[in-house]
Every structure is written in structure tokens, then in C-alpha cells.
Amino acid sequence: MAATIRDVAQASGVHVSTVSRTFSAPHLVNAETRTRVLAVAEDLGYRPNRAARALTTGRTHNLGLIVADISNPFFPPLIKAAQAHARTRDYHVFVADTDEDPLVEEELIQTLTKQVDGVLLCSPRLSNRAIERLHADVPFVVVNRRVKGMPTVLMDVRYGARLAIDHLTGLGHRRIALLSGPSGSWTSKEMYETAAAAGGVDLVIIGPNAPTEEGGLAVAAEVIASGATGVLAYNDLVAIGLIEGLYERGVQVPADISVVGVDDIVAGRLNRPKLTTVAMPTAAAGRMAVDLLLQSVDDGGAATLATLATSLVVRESTGQARA
């Protein structure tokens, strides 16, 4: 017969409730006791019944994680880190992709609400008003978007954009093109406000654009026509697509135009020229978001705002402005 929770409690010399907490809230159990209970459970082949536990605790021990586009290399490190961190707290993560569509995003939230204890919204495309309305049904943590009164994890886009603009102006670039992202993007807004506030810059706004290589490729001719010698792209994919489009038109990077991306994805390091970029702490954001969400699930949680530092990684796609 399969081992029961009472068998594990008796063999461990603890109360049944301690065994239950070891699996449902391990952070509340003394480390030595937790190790002993887990070892006994392993020896006896005991596995907690998650469905039964959900009925008694009201917890599914599942979290939802919704991203704008799972094919974007920005998201996998965040997803992987969030899943691994959630497992240490005995939670599983369901991942869903909205394909940059706010209507799909709302449908997914409504579908997941009854199946999870909370939802991580990563770079959401819904309006703040819609997010606030849906939050009434399930705890949220928002990543890469500021929503008033809601636990939030931000990567410091403003600081990163300022580093990028300062880098370009330091190389003598005065006419700089900002390639924005999708319409309504919080990141685009942060980048624009930072670039617009920079002194001594003749700023050209090009967009909105799809946050993909195709989005960058599509605006290459417009960038050339703008007369900009420096470009700050919405993300690395847009930057890589732009560089490809510039080369197709005989424009060299960085000899003719310098390009800076955002995210520091692997493809940017493999690109030729290697991409100068603003590095975003995506894995750290995934772990922090899980912590804030579980805090909210446990005790309602305050509207904590966690801001993670960004940094500029200078590689080969930027150089001195041409005379």
C-alpha cells in the first residue's frame, strides 16, 4: 500500500501538521526537521496528493506566468528562473503566450484565475484599468510595467536608456533615432521620456514598431532617410533587424550609423558586429516576481515596488560619429 502522511509523521517523530507544512510551506519548518521529513518521505515513497491538499488548504500551488511573446529571447531566462525559484517553494508554473494581443491576454487571465493562486504578468499589453479590474479576482505581480497599487518588478529602463544616450553623445552623435516598440508599450514610454529629456540631442522618433527582427528590418530605409548617425532600438531583435537592413542598403555599422539595443540576448553577442546593448536582469526579475507573488498569496502583500539595476554593455555596433 502507498505510504500516507501519517506514516511519514510517525517515522519522522513529528506531528502530521508538520509533514503537511514541510510540503506546503517549507520555509515555515525548521531546516533540520524539514530535511528529516523529506528523507523519510523519500524512503517511504510518499508523494503528497496535490488535489486533496488544494481542497483542504484552498491553494492549488500553481502560478500563472503570462508573457507577451514567448518566441522573444527576452522572456525564456525570466521564465526559467521563475519556474526554478517557484519549485523551491513547492509551486508549479503554467506559462502562457499572448502573442502581443491584449484581448488574448485578458482571456488567458480569466481562464487561469480558477486554476492558480496568482498570476505573473510580464510586459502586459492590457491597459492599467483592465489590469486593475482583473486583479480583483486573483493576486497579480506585474513585471516591466508600473501599475499603481500593485506589486511590481521593474528593470530600470530609464537608467539604461540614459546610459545608452550618454554613450552615443559621448561618441559625437547628436541626431539620434529612437525606434519605439508596440503601441502602448510601457518600455517605449520610459525610453522616449528619457531620450527627450537628454540635452544636446536632436531626437527622431520612428514607430511604433513590431518588437522583432522584421520590425527593425522594415524601418532601415526610414532610419537612413532621417539623417540619424546613432540609433537606440526598442530591443535587441529590432536592433539586429535594423543592422541587417542597413547592410542591405550599403550602410555600415558602426562606420556610418551606430546602433544600441536593449535586453542583452544571446543573439546580440553572436551578431556581427557584436551588439552594444542595455543589459536587463531578466532572471533576477523572474525570481523577485515569484517572491512578491507568494508574499501576496500568503498575506495579501503590500504594493511593493522592486526596481532592478540595468547596465550598458559596449561592444562593436557603436563608434565615433562620422564627420
Residues 136-168 pLDDT 10s: 888 999 999 888 888 999 999 999 999 999 999
Q: By three-state DSSP, how is residue 106 classified?
A: helix
Q: Which three cell numbers stand for residue 293?
A: 507573488
Smallest CA-to-CA distance from 125 within 177, 81, 82, 188 is with 188
Q: Kind and range of the H or E element at 59?
A: none
Q: With respect to residue 321, please indicate whether it lies within any of the assigned structural domains.
A: no
Q: By three-state DSSP, how is residue 66 classified?
A: strand
Q: With respect to residue 142, please indicate whether it lies within any of the assigned structural domains.
A: yes
Q: With respect to residue 24, please indicate whether it lies within any of the assigned structural domains.
A: yes
Q: Are residues 195 and 234 in the same domain?
A: yes
Q: With the C-alpha atoms ordered 166, 168, 169, 175, is the resulting torsion angle positive or negative?
A: negative
pLDDT tens-digit profile, the chain (323 residues): 678 888 889 999 999 889 888 877 777 898 999 999 999 988 888 877 665 555 455 567 899 999 999 999 999 999 999 999 999 888 999 999 999 999 999 999 999 988 899 999 999 999 989 999 998 888 999 999 888 888 999 999 999 999 999 999 999 999 999 999 998 889 999 999 999 999 889 999 999 999 999 999 999 999 999 999 999 999 999 999 999 999 999 999 999 999 999 999 999 999 999 999 999 999 999 999 999 999 988 776 677 899 999 999 999 999 999 87
Q: With respect to residue 106, please indicate whether it lies within any of the assigned structural domains.
A: yes
Predicted confidence at residue 188, as pLDDT, reads 93
Q: Are residues 290 and 151 in the same domain?
A: yes
Q: Which residues pair with 6 in a beta bridge?
A: none
CA distance 254 to 22: 57
What is the reported pTM? 0.81
Q: Are residues 187 and 96 in the same domain?
A: no
Domain count, the chain: 3
- CATH number, domain of 170, equals 3.40.50.2300
Q: Are residues 162 and 273 in the same domain?
A: yes
164 φ, ψ (degrees, to nearest 5): -65, -45
Q: Are residues 264 and 289 in the same domain?
A: no
Q: With respect to residue 319, please indicate whether it lies within any of the assigned structural domains.
A: no
What is the extent of the structural domain holding 115?
60-155+282-310
Q: With respect to residue 255, please indicate whether it lies within any of the assigned structural domains.
A: yes
Q: With respect to residue 316, please indicate whether it lies within any of the assigned structural domains.
A: no
Q: Are residues 113 and 249 in the same domain?
A: no
Q: Are residues 214 and 79 in the same domain?
A: no
Q: Are residues 274 and 286 in the same domain?
A: no
- CATH number, domain of 16, equals 1.10.260.40
11: Cα separation from own chain's centroid? 43
Q: Are residues 13 and 123 in the same domain?
A: no
Q: Are residues 74 and 213 in the same domain?
A: no
Q: With respect to residue 123, please indicate whether it lies within any of the assigned structural domains.
A: yes
Query: Do 137 and 116 meet the contact criterion of CB atoms below 8 Å apart?
Result: no
CA distance 249 to 114: 52
Q: Are residues 162 and 228 in the same domain?
A: yes
Q: Are residues 101 and 138 in the same domain?
A: yes
Predicted confidence at residue 46, as pLDDT, reads 85
